[in-house]
Amino acid sequence: MIKISLVDDELLFLNGLKEILSKQEDFKIHSSYTNSIKFVEDWKSSKRKPDVVLVDMNVPEINGMQLTQFIIDSNPEVKVIGLSSHYTKVLIYNMLKLGASSYLPKNVPIDQLLKTIRRVHNEGIYFDDVQLKNLNTSYDIKDQQELLYHGLSTREIDVLLLICDQCTTQEIADKLFISYKTVERHRTKLFEKTQAKNVVGLVLFALKHKFVEKVLV
């Protein structure tokens, strides 16, 4: 069961979203807020946290970027999905840098929203092909020797680059002709060597050290 919290000051949108999500057998509405300050107050006092938080970027008082930073700083295991009527690649990139797991326009098709929530919960981060195209993103190996310098094996490099390309564990196994469990072992080693806490951390590690190049134009 995926426990979901919602933060959006547009009551009609919030209620509609709750109705859609509550109909899914694997979803449970953990909480919903129209006031970001109340959300933060309850978050600090509650021991029971949701798995995923959907945050409106334009919520007043404490905005979506600030809420995202607060959630990830206090509970990095919780996944954050940004929602906004202003869907720009700059905002998407900034949310990714903060550690958000995805970013969607508020007019996203329902099936895409549901898919994103499930993929984020299972894999930590998810951007579909259309989103990546909107970002005009390309990944290129800068210098494999630099990766080796950081103690990563050639196979770990392969896995890292495929993670950056948003491949699932099974897809990585299929592409590299290795078992699912072997990929899991490589992922564990990557987390240890990069000190990343989640998949977002691995992607940011690769970007920070220019092992892959993210081009925004």
pLDDT at 53: 98
Which pLDDT score is estimated for 130? Answer: 62
pTM to 2 decimal places: 0.65
DSSP states of the chain as a string?
-EEEEEE-S-HHHHHHHHHHHHTSTTEEEEEEES-HHHHHHHHHH-S---SEEEEETT-SSS-HHHHHHHHHHH-TTSEEEEEESS--HHHHHHHHHHT-SEEEETT--HHHHHHHHHHHHHHS----HHHHHHHT----B--HHHHHHTT--HHHHHHHHHHHTT--HHHHHHHHT--HHHHHHHHHHHHHHHT-SSHHHHHHHHHHTTSB-----
Q: Note the pLDDT tens digit of each residue in 14-52.
A: 999 999 999 999 999 999 999 999 999 999 999 899 999
Ordered structural domains, the chain, with CATH: 2-133 (3.40.50.2300), 144-208 (1.10.10.10)
On the question of pLDDT at 191 being above 60, the answer is yes
For residue 101, pLDDT beyond 80:
yes
Assess whether pLDDT exceeds 70 at residue 216: no
